[in-house]
Each structure stands twice: as C-alpha cells, then as structure tokens.
Structure 1
Amino acid sequence: MMFPLSIFAFDREVFTGSARSLSVPGALGRMQILPDHIPIVSSLVAGEVVIEKEDGTRETLPIESGILEVNKKEVVALVNF
C-alpha cells in the first residue's frame, strides 16, 4: 500500500509522489508513518526525514525543523533546511 506524500520548503517543492513509509524526527522521538496512519499534526525537530518510495528506494533529507500533517487523504510536511 502507498500514500500520497508532499514535502515543501519555504522556497520550493521538495518531494511529491507516492510513498510506502515516511520516518520523521518528531518532538517526542522518531515517528514512522505508514498507509492508513491515524490523523495527526506534529512538530518536527532537527534530524533526517526518510522517504521509502514506491520502488522501494529510500531518499533521506536532513532538516532543521518543520511541521507534519497526516490526514485520511495525504501526508504533508513543511520543512526548514
């Protein structure tokens, strides 16, 4: 299963596509987002965002901070580098 994922920085779109999983540095520790995850909004702290793409490859993005929204339709992250 997959879910739609969009990651944006202030000045650009960083990633838009389907993902198998997303691992993010949350304020209370690492979180892994999978398809059908419960809706949440969370702040993000400095660390690595790891996207597992549709083909199984992983993309890692170092961030300084951000915010994550997971809802029934999509996952959206706004990040600062």
Structure 2
Amino acid sequence: MFLEIITPDNKLFEGEVDSATFPGNEGSFQVLDDHAPLVSSLGLGELRYKYKDHDHIKEKELKIDGGIVEVLNNRVLVLVESVQA
C-alpha cells in the first residue's frame, strides 16, 4: 500500500509500505493492504511503518502530536500536526 505522511511544513514520507501502526485517540491500530476505507483522528504517540529497502524490511518510528489518517483503495494519507524530535 502507498503511504504519505505530511506536516504543515513538509512531506515526511512517501512510498510503498507493508504496514502502518497509528496512535488512535482510543488506542493504537494497524493498517495493512486491502484495509477497509477509514478516516480517524490520531492522538499523541508513535506512528510506525514497515517498508522494504533493497530487499530488507525496515521499520521507522515517528513521535507525533496528533493528526488525521485516511485509508482508501490501498492509499494511506496521514496529516500530522507536528513531529517530536
């Protein structure tokens, strides 16, 4: 599935991923290929995604301060308010 992570200042990530885990306001949840359509608010916490880099699976974690996620047709758009360093 295709993941795009955007802040008000820039685009943090754009590319194919195997999975993505989000900090929902009522608990974390994971999105995989062929997930049902979804729109959800995000809370403070870790956004994690797994992707392939030269045939190796890598995992990236971002600490976010809330936002919105939309899942539709194997495309995941994440709008985050800010990312903690």
Flag whether TM exceeds 0.5 (same fold).
yes
CA deviation digits over 1:24-77, x for unaligned, max 9? 001121010000000000000000000101241001000001000000141000
Unaligned ranges ≥5, structure 1: none
Q: Secondary structure at the match of 1:56?
A: strand
* RMSD of aligned Cα (Å): 0.8
Using the TM superposition, give the Cα deviation of residue 8 of structure 1 relative to its aligned residue in structure 2, in angstroms: 0.1
- Given residue 29 of structure 1, which amino acid in structure 2 is its aligned partner? G
Aligned residue in 2 for 1:50: 48
- Aligned-residue sequence identity (percent) comes to 37
- Out of 24, 27, 41, the position equivalent to 1:26 is 24
TM-score (norm 1): 0.93
Unaligned ranges ≥5, structure 2: none
- Given residue 20 of structure 1, which amino acid in structure 2 is its aligned partner? D
Aligned residue in 1 for 2:70: 69
Using the TM superposition, give the Cα deviation of residue 4 of structure 1 relative to its aligned residue in structure 2, in angstroms: 0.5
1:12-23 equivalences under 5 Å are 12-23=10-21
More deviation in 47-56 or 29-38? 47-56
Moved over 4 A (4+): none
Matched residues, number = 79
